[in-house]
Amino acid sequence: MNYEVVNKPLPALICKLEQGESVECQKGAMSWMTAGISMKTGLGEGKGGLMGALGKMAKSAVTGESVFRNTYTAENGAGEIAFAASFPGDIICFDTSVTPIVAQKSAYLANTVGVQMDIFFQKKVGAGFFGGEGFIMQKFSGQGMVFLEINGSVCEYTLAAGEYMLVDTGYLAAMEATCSVDIETVSGIGNALLGGEGLFNTKVSGPGKIWLQTMPSNILASAIAPYIATGSN
């Protein structure tokens, strides 16, 4: 399957499918497609059987996402299908056969067949409740490509073993599964109360790559909220 990302900063992912090729997404993610592509709704990749179905239902309850995924297949020759981003920014692709990827739960856009999507729990509860990235993240593994939405632009860093980055709330978009997440308290009462950065920072440690986003949705929402509330311009 060939693909391209077009029209940043309001991007769309265009996948060019050959006969018999498929791509998966959450319900409602498809933006447009050519004739000859069929849709089938199911549970997506992962463990099968009753336990697999129950596990996916539990995941849906925790993350708030649909338990079902739509699979689009080019059944009558080659075709194209597009997935538009829901927020100004970028769309990036990861090969899960190289290394599993962990991402914020709102980042998922689409994937090729063969990618498994599971809940990734932080090893330390505090990292989830206070680290700003949420207690629940998603882990993508298997044999295929996964496409993730990035809010704003993306900055990539490679962390060595023992090396870490302190990240403010919402700026961690994705990381290789070899990385770990913890929290670090802002030092000094004055810094914590008056510095405007909150009481905690997210501490992302290597080894592995991390991808940071420059405009988290909560930051943009905070910036425009006063204008919406007052009607100012």
Tally of structural domains, the chain? 1
pLDDT at 44: 60
- Using alpha carbons only, give the angle 221, 225, 134 rounded to the nearest 5 degrees: 35
Nearest to 44 by CA among 65, 61, 64: 65
pLDDT at 165: 95
Q: In sequence order, what DSSP letters do the residues of 116-164 get, joined into one string? A: EEEEEE-SSHHHHHHSSS-SEEEEEEESSEEEEEEES-EEEEEEPBT-E
Residues 6+ apart with CB under 8 A from 20: 73, 74, 75
3-state secondary structure (DSSP) of residue 227: helix
Residues 6+ apart with CB under 8 A from 176: 99, 100, 101, 102, 208, 209, 210
The mean pLDDT values, 10 residues at a time, for the chain of 233 residues are 93 97 92 96 59 48 64 96 94 96 92 91 54 70 96 96 91 94 69 52 93 90 80 57
CB hemisphere CA count around 31 (13 angstroms): 13
Examine residue 9 and say whether the peptide bond preceding it is cis (omega within 30 degrees of 0). Answer: yes
pLDDT at 218: 81
pLDDT at 45: 57
Nearest to 117 by CA among 97, 146, 94: 146
CB hemisphere CA count around 104 (13 angstroms): 20
User: How many residues would you count in the chain?
Assistant: 233
CA gap 191, 194 in Å, rounded: 5
Helix (H) or strand (E) holding 173: strand 172-176
Write the CATH number for 127. 3.60.160.10
Supply the range of the domain harboring residue 128: 2-230
pLDDT at 111: 96
pLDDT at 131: 46
